[in-house]
Amino acid sequence: MIRSLSEMPALVRSLLADVETEVVEHKEAKRNFGFEKLGKYFSALSNEANLRNAECGWLLFGVTDKRKICGTSYRKEERRPSVGLRALKHEIAENLNNGLTFEEIYEFDIEGKRVVAFQIPPCEFASPTTWRGVPWSREDSSLKEMPRFKLEAIWGQSRPDWSKRASFEACLDDLDPEAVKFACERYVDKYAEKQPAIRSLSEEEML
């Protein structure tokens, strides 16, 4: 979900108040931040967001190790949003798999200090996000190549089988009449010999 800029200061404060999350990383990035490390953090936060069923991951620039707002000049320009920040979406996507990039990059002030917040989508279903072909993860406060058990947790994901779920609000009118007729005919063919009463049931009763 894309946020409005007016929402971001309160959101950042709430993110920084949660000291136990693996889907939020904050850096001072006072003037610059290495492109390679940025890509690795994208991969790590994307993968952690998937494993924790989070809506997204967050990388915050302009925040100290002690979670204090210090401000950042990363790709700062006279106008906002800066062209340099907007260009990052394309630059980062070239080295990620599955066509991923930042959901959004926010540039705003908190207490008169510039903050940049990167919103990172979870990795795709059963497919870890890789940076230059390597999947990364968070281990405590460090970046690590993704360990085997986390990779297997993502690779082993299975989609829910919607066909096994009861649709309690459905009625006969929601079904294709031809499909209903075909299913009932096959049901009669299979069971009528042992249960002759089936032949007297209506399609609705049979269903």
DSSP state of 193: T
Within the chain, what is the greatest distance between any pair of CA atoms?
83
Closest CA to 140 of 14, 33, 13, 19: 19
For residue 55, pLDDT beyond 90: yes
Residue 160: what pLDDT? 61
Mean pLDDT of 46-59: 96
Dist. CA 173–CA 119, nearest whole Å? 43
Residue 74: what pLDDT? 97
Residue 18: what pLDDT? 86
- Domain residue ranges in the chain: 5-155, 162-206
Torsion, CA 181, CA 182, CA 185, CA 189, rounded to 10: -170
Q: Tokens 């907007």 sit at which residue?
A: 86
For residue 42, pLDDT beyond 90: yes
Res. 19 pLDDT band, cuts 50 70 90:
confident
- End-to-end CA distance of the chain: give it in Å, rounded: 40
Residue 191: what pLDDT? 82
Q: With pLDDT > 90 as the criterion, what percentage of the chain qualifies?
A: 70
DSSP state of 141: T
Mean pLDDT of 82-88: 95
DSSP state of 173: G
The torsion angles phi and psi of 116, rounded to 5 degrees, stand at -120, 125
For residue 93, pLDDT beyond 90: yes
Q: Are 70 and 60 in contact (CB under 8 A)?
A: no
Q: Which fold has domain 5-155?
A: 3.30.950
Mean pLDDT of 54-74: 96
